[in-house]
Structure 1
Amino acid sequence: MPKNIEEKILKLREELRIHNYNYYVLDNPTISDYEFDLMLKELEKLELENPQYFDPNSPTQRVGGEITKKFKTVTHKNRMYSLANSYSKEDLIDWEKRTVKLLGTNDVEYTCELKYDGASINLYYKEGKLLSAVTRGDGVEGDDVTANVRTIKSVPLVLQHDFVDEFEIRGEIILPLDGFNKMNEERIDIGEEPYKNPRNTASGSLKLLDSREVAKRPLDCLLYHVVANSYPKSTHFDILNEARKIGFKVPEAIEVCKTIDAVFNFIEKWDEKRYSLPYDTDGIVVKVNSLAQQDELGYTAKAPRWAIAYKFETEQESTILKEITYQVGRTGAITPVANLEPVELAGTIVKRASLHNADQIEKLDIRVGDTVYVEKGGEIIPKIVGVDFNKRPQNSETTNYITHCPDCNTQLVRNEGDAKHYCPNEYGCPTQITSRIQHFISRKAMNIDGLGAETIELLFKEGLIHNYADLYDLKEEQIIPLERMAEKSAKNIILGIQKSKEIPFEKVLFALGIRFVGETVAKKLAKYFKSIDALLSASFEELITVDEIGDKIAESVLNFSSNLINIQLIDRLKSYGVQLEVSEESLEGKTEVLTGQVFVVSGVFTEFNRNDLKKSIEDNGGKVASSISKKTNYVIAGDNMGPSKLAKAESLGIPIISELDYMAMLENN
């Protein structure tokens, strides 16, 4: 009998998966909703009576039920890059010319897809089952939202057929317009504020703590990119077709274009048709179709060279400029802000827009009381692009840029060649102080739980902190009496501060807020100098020998290290146990035997996957470049190495070695 029950459960699960795929992915139901519900209830009853057959990927688990207290931060196995944007056909033509030049051939075809306006997601499958779903985050790390994504009907929990044993597939979680409008009707009916736009609502849905609430929302998932160590097909288009066959919702609006003119035809077609789509789209993504050519083109520091986004013309509206105010940034940079009569733009209400700097205000002759044209740059950040001079009030006055800091009243400075004005009162300007502390505690830096911008402002206002080192002196009894605080909040803050002592050196270095030292630069400096003492005692000449460190960054580090206040803060952080040198654990297995050697990796490998091979090179002191140049020392070639890379390496006389040769090189050293 138990054998029959298990078979019945497995049979019901498989049938429900097929019906779910037909309904939510193919939009072609083969049974009625009533019949589907009867089958689902039968399966629920059998699983309840036979818990030994529980499966987290069963169709019954899509209703949610898991409560998440905090989303776990996960490092992406393969980085999620952003796309370079283009806003004109000229930009696309330039991109195509660069692509053809890098590949050394005119034999390039492209795929064109719609750019979906949702929340980016990375789904990880192994042996045909969904194991995790992680948000894009900063591209390197994201939040694990697996419990919530399991509730989305168009995301397959178990694949219908074999594909690749282990792979990631990326896409957008979206909220179709019909579902979004229905949600807003229901909210208005019960007297609640309607949601602003589908994109933000979809993104916010992924962060709901109760997956049962997520299950109530009509979310959808559109997939557009597969990442694996090996592929069953040789083109991006064919891979997506295979993904569609095994259960993924890959939109049909994708075409292979043999020429850039065909790309323009696709763009023109969808620029007109996009308004009839059931979801929002803000552009077209153009990709090189050949996977071998994608591999050959590689990546810049931020984006793939083999893909580009073409943004549709941005929506523009006019409104009244009521007031110009000024914000002080972490580095003392002053940003003028236009305060506007509220206007709806691309699905959101816009009340403020950046005016960038004094030159921009003067160039556009922007004045308070003007009717101004506002658009969203890349459909994200509102900006003023012009003035309707016909509507200018007769009594309008020219805008005079402020001369003193709006926060501490210190006279502003403007360095030669710099577009922005600065407040030089670095250690006395309250906004600069609190902004530096807020940067220090941020997720990409010390990632201190329980602390946010408002709490930092409150602690500073109450005189409990004056710099980021003061955080480590805080006591629970100091925090509890504060507004909106309680014993539990205080405990969480102190616990988060203590836990930050485990944050690795490269992130601490970024957290210090040295001007021009972003995440990538911090990693390079930490890897090279290995301790804060070595970094801060380095000369200008030594700093600029570090890969990608130029004069500007070197001068900034020297300015930081020559300031007594900074040295005192560093000494205090050391005394609290903050990681200010590379740990022994992170150095384990790493050598410097490849120092000064530049490698290019191309093709498919058997002993390594590509990421592990690149990591091995970097762990042993070498540098991985994406393209061959005179500076390249070795090309490590696998199967299907790009022909133009091969030709270029041979023409420059660069040694081409196998992965086994590389392994022998390490052993011999």
Structure 2
Amino acid sequence: MTSKNIPSPAEQIKQLRDQLNDWSYRYYVLDDPAVPDAEYDRLFRQLQALESEHPDLVSPDSPTQRVGDVPLEGFNEVRHAVPMLSLGNAFSDDELRDFDQRVHERLDVSGGIDYVAEPKLDGLAVSLVYENGELVRGATRGDGETGEDITANVRTIKSIPLRLRGENPPALMEVRGEVVMTHHGFAELNRRQAEAEQKTFANPRNAAAGSLRQLDSRITAQRPLEFYAYSLAQLDGESWPDRHSAILERLRQWGLRVNPEVKLCDGVDALLAFYHDILERRDQLDYDIDGVVYKVDRLDWQRDLGFVSRAPRWAVAHKFPAQEEITVLNGVDWQVGRTGALTPVAKLEPVQVGGVTVSNATLHNIDEIRRLDIRVGDTVVVYRAGDVIPKVVRAVPERRPDNAEEIDLPAACPVCGSDIFRAEGGVVARCTGGLICGAQQREAIKHFASRRAMDIEGLGEKLVDALVDQQLIATVADLYRLQAEPVADLERMGEKSAANLIEALEHSKSVSLERFLFALGILQIGEETAKALADCFGDLDTIRRAPLLLFLAVPDVGLEVAKAIHAFFREQHNEDVIDGLLAEGVQPRANGHPSAAFVRELTLGYFLKAAKRLGMALDGVGEKSLETLGGHYKTVAALAEADADEAPVRPAMLAQVHNALKQDDWRQRLEQAEAQAAGLSAKAPREVAEQALEGQTWVLTGTLSRLTRDQAKAHLQSLGAKVAGSVSKKTHCVVAGEAAGSKLTKAEELGVAVMDEDTFVDFLAGHGIVV
């Protein structure tokens, strides 16, 4: 190729801009994506690179120039050349017919009148000004006469073109429209806000308004905003179309998005049909609407009709039933879900919201109650959209009575009386009576019987429901008390099926300890943690009696998980059910020997560090000093009686440790942990050969033909490996079966060793495991 055929940088940049703008038009206006996002991103990066090399060729309308980099100190005031007026409202079909009749009378016409009907978007009205096709200003509606200059922010919205399409754009054009946030985008934004521990938004409209009023356009650019054009306010350099429907079509041609629900309707009956159709489909739309707007289509008739009280006589908003109303919060009930989660339910003075009477509404959780500062007796705002569960969205503090009561978490489960557990920093509070709580019984029994737990063949969800409904079982222990005859009388059972169930129950009585622990459904305990508990402690009885300090020493068990395990076994109701299982012959299999590596961790130094994590008053004592004290004194008693003159740390530090031991029963708690650690040490094997894969992390991916994933996992664990679900730099090896996907790709990218199935089977054979 000769140099004459190579496009200049300016030509390349123009080609890229034109292509990207065309793809944006296809995506946002025509709703017809031309290429995958990855292809758009690839060309976008090419344009960025070229503009970086040739900064003199960067123009304001380039797709790369949507986001500024200097936050504003404040918004400038904008006076609208044409006021942004409000609309009159119709709240019923009869009021709409009255509007249509007034239009007929003022125009003195007897035939049908064409109207344009469009959804009334619940967002923020904005004005966009284009000069010679280039976006030069964006402004909020404000009071209709003056608004705020938000040009930097509207430039970040991808459905707003920075330059109009076409060769000869108008010299001046002002378009009006609505900025909204989709439901999908709103949910994703709130998820990101919550993960970043930032304020979440009450609804999409508030989120859209707050996003448009950011002084830093880089923040606005991260918000999922969309724009829909609905009218023209100014047009110079080109003749006006004669109908509103033609204006909307012209806006589409210029590259502006118009709502796809817009429809030309002949007469009031067609308007009512449009209204009731979109009202019925309202919840299926991905954006909020609060009604429908009707406009007389002919512009000459609009001019003849004119305005009244700053509102056009040729348009009206037909409002939907209110989705928000004010009422009084009379009380709060706490409901317990199938997984033990407690949800506060507001008991309201009945009120009509969205066409139905609402007397109950969700308050989500105690943190939301605190954030909204809602109290019993408050006047509150209730929101309901379609089939969405009504929710309290805010209080009206100026109406708060003097006797308003604060709302607190209940001290015990309102269903079964068990303790309430809430992880520090966690959102959800849960009942700890998972094995006996009536609200959780079905879920607890189904989990207990599942394949990865007790694997009770034939005990599916429908049979569990039937057994509970007929009051044949209330807890998992009752399963092993079932008799064949009453089971056979259940619908779709019979003698054979009942006998098979009893046999399956009998077969399940002998189960590994880790599967039994997993089957109990302890909060936050998965299969890996259950196995770690079984390996570390060696038997069920030791786990049941273990103090909290010992659970913290289990590998991969953090503070909140340790608290959840401890809370479960300190709940007497759960202990009673476990006793019932053992009494019925359930025998969790274990080797009876605690892990030697686990026992080695249980030193005084470790206990002191763990106690500090649990709140022991050792803030001024570092972990290194605690290790020194533990290594020097060995026992709690020796540490408690230590003489400051002989201490391996500063006297003031030892004095702080002594004071901490006297507070909150810490000496007793440490000595209890110390005693159990001594018992574990006595049972631990004296010599343990190091396992071949000790300390290694392996990952399984794809389909294995010669053994199941569970079997492969168990073999690796028997050799000391940890089997993880994702690949990282710390992964030792990946076993890849057929149709291995992203995990294999990640391993290859990171240079992690990979084995196919045949190599893996040979590897196991080399360690005495024959498949």
TM-score by length of 1: 0.49
TM-score, reference length from structure 2: 0.42
Greater Rg by CA: 2
Q: Which of 1 and 2 has higher RCO (CA within 8 Å, sep 6+)?
A: 1
